[in-house]
């Protein structure tokens, strides 16, 4: 009998929940007659120790070896906090966690949202070295022109990881989930991510991942309801142990997690597929919030992560695709040719990026998502 050595979903820990709830109260800032909910302001309270930096990042993006190397190079101690979805990160950030973090790792569409909310400081590119190493398609993006506020750190796709011994024929498109519902009954999980799950269903129906059409969104919700009895749970990472144990046959996942699981289990039983009708293409970035208590250390961290040797090293150890050409060139050939990690041009072309939605459309997604998970 094994007890998980680390909770699979750190967002659940009671301590973090309490911390976040407590800080939620401190985020209520009075302003004039009405007050603004959870307004984020630059903090003057914690100017921070200059040998210390707190970063807010995805699970599995930082490991102790990386922290050690950074400390040896710069003398700065890094303390990471983890999140498992952009929404969770943004909510906790706005609820008062903003005071701690000097570097945050939002994904593309969330960068756009954070820029719009004026939460991010404009990056001083003269203090960053190695930007020229980024692949051309990562030099500029629709969510953040010329990387003015964010530096891409990794990219990937959303797809399906499956047990290739149990599933024959293998899944090749999203529609597979609906067609093989009986076989997959309570043996599959979907991401706990409303934009991805709704997006996939929209894509299955032939619509855009980012549909803003009310009928299309409702149509997608209705299709998802028919799949729900077969879904064990909505989770970003709790599928790992159970896929390995054989409790699950298939899981909707981010490519970075899938590639890591596949490479750590060399019996090649598990495979990752990007469904052929297309999926989402995402990139995660590093940003410095305006409220950062230690911007100097934040620049040091970004420069560190941009070093080709470091970027190549984490790609090999943590398995997320690097946008850094110089780092890519240093990778061993098998990894460079891994089509799950670095998909081919036409697969990428079939994928869409998730873009920020207007608040009233986003609220519709929220309402359908809450309805779906409440039923």
Partner 1 sequence: MSSPSPPLSTESDFPKASPRWLQPLVLLSPAGIWLALLLVIPTLLILELSLVPGIRPGQVVNPSGLENYTRIFQPDYFPVLTRSLSFAIATTLICLLLGFPVAYWIALIVPKRWRNLVVLGFVLPLWTSSLLRSYAWITILRPTGVMNSLLGTVGLPPLDILNREPAVLIGMTYSLLPYMVLILYAALEKLDRSLLEAAADLGATPAQAFWNVTVPQTLTGIAAGSLLVFISCMGDFINPEVLGGASSMTVARLVYNQFLGATQNWGFGSALSMILILIVSIAIALWLKYGDRSSAGGV
- Chain residues that interact with partner 1, rule: CB under 8 A: 1-4, 7-9, 11-14, 17, 20-21, 24-25, 27-28, 34-40, 85, 87-88, 90-92, 94-95, 117, 186, 190, 192-194, 228-229, 231-234, 242, 245-247, 359, 363, 366, 369-371, 373-375
What is the rounded distance in angstroms from the CA atom of residue 247 to the CA atom of residue 264? 18
Please report how close the Cβ of residue 191 comes to partner 1 at its closest, in angstroms: 10
DSSP class of 372: H
CA-CA distance, 171 to 20, in Å (whole number)? 40
**Cα separation of 51 and 43, whole Å?**
18
Which CB atom, from 104 or from 134, has the smaller least distance to partner 1?
104
- Are 303 and 133 in contact by the 8 Å Cβ rule? The answer is no
We find the least distance from the C-beta atom of residue 370 to partner 1, in angstroms, to be: 6
State which residue, 133 or 236, has the beta carbon closest to partner 1: 236
Q: Which is nearer to partner 1, 17 or 140 (CB)?
A: 17
Shortest distance, position 82 Cβ to partner 1, whole Å: 13
Among residues 40 and 341, whose Cβ is nearest to partner 1?
40
Eight-state DSSP code of residue 32: S
The terminus-to-terminus CA distance of the chain in angstroms comes to 33
CA–CA separation, 40 vs 29, rounded Å?
Answer: 9
Complex with partner 1: residue 51 or 247, whichever CB lies closer: 247
8 A C-beta contact, residue 319 and residue 260:
yes
What are the C-alpha distances in Å from 124 to residues 54, 115, 129, 143, 284?
20, 15, 11, 18, 19
For partner 1, give the closer residue by CB, 40 or 306. Answer: 40
Shortest approach of partner 1 to residue 300 CB, angstroms? 30
Q: How far is the CB of 207 from partner 1 (least distance, A)?
A: 21
> Whole-angstrom Cα distance, residue 188 to residue 147?
37
Give the residue with the Cβ less far from partner 1, 37 or 214: 37
The nearest distance, CB 76 to partner 1, in angstroms, is 29
DSSP code per residue over 168-215: SSPP-STHHHHHTHHHHTTSEEE-S-HHHHHHHHHHHTTS-TT---HH
Query: Smallest distance, Å, CB 374 to partner 1?
Result: 5
């Amino acid at each position: 009998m094994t007890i998980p050595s680390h909770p699979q979903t750190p967002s659940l820990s009671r301590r973090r929940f309490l911390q976040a709830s407590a800080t939620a109260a401190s985020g209520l800032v009075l302003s004039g007659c009405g007050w603004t909910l959870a307004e984020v302001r630059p903090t003057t309270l914690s100017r921070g120790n200059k040998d210390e930096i707190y970063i807010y990042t995805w699970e599995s993006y930082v490991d102790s070896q990386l922290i050690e190397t950074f400390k040896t190079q710069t003398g700065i101690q890094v303390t990471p906090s983890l999140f498992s979805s952009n929404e969770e990160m943004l909510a906790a950030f706005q609820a008062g966690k903003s005071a701690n973090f000097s570097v945050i790792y939002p994904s593309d569409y969330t960068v756009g949202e954070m820029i719009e909310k004026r939460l991010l400081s404009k990056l001083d590119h003269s203090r960053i070295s190695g930007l020229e190493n980024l692949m051309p398609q990562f030099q500029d993006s629709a969510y953040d022109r010329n990387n003015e506020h964010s530096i891409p750190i990794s990219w990937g796709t959303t797809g399906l990881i499956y047990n290739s011994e149990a599933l024959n024929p293998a899944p090749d498109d999203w529609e597979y989930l609906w067609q093989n519902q009986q076989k997959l009954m309570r043996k599959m999980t979907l991401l706990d991510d409303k934009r991805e799950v709704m997006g996939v269903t929209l894509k299955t129906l032939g619509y855009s991942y980012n549909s803003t059409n009310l009928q299309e969104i409702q149509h997608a919700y209705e299709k998802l309801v028919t799949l729900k009895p077969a879904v064990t749970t909505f989770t970003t990472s709790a599928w790992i142990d159970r896929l390995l144990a054989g409790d699950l046959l298939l899981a909707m996942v981010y490519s970075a997690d899938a590639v890591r699981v596949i490479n750590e289990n060399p019996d090649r039983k598990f495979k990752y597929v990007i469904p052929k009708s297309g999926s989402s293409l995402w990139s995660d970035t590093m940003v410095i919030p305006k409220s950062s208590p230690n911007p100097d250390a934040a620049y040091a961290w970004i420069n560190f992560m941009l070093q080709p040797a470091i970027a190549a090293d984490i790609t090999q150890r943590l398995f997320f695709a690097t946008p850094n050409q110089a780092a890519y060139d240093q990778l061993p050939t098998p990894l460079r040719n891994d089509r799950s990690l670095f998909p081919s041009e036409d697969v990428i072309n079939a994928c869409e990026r998730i873009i920020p939605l207007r608040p009233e459309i986003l609220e519709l997604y929220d309402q359908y998502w809450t309805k779906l998970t409440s039923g």
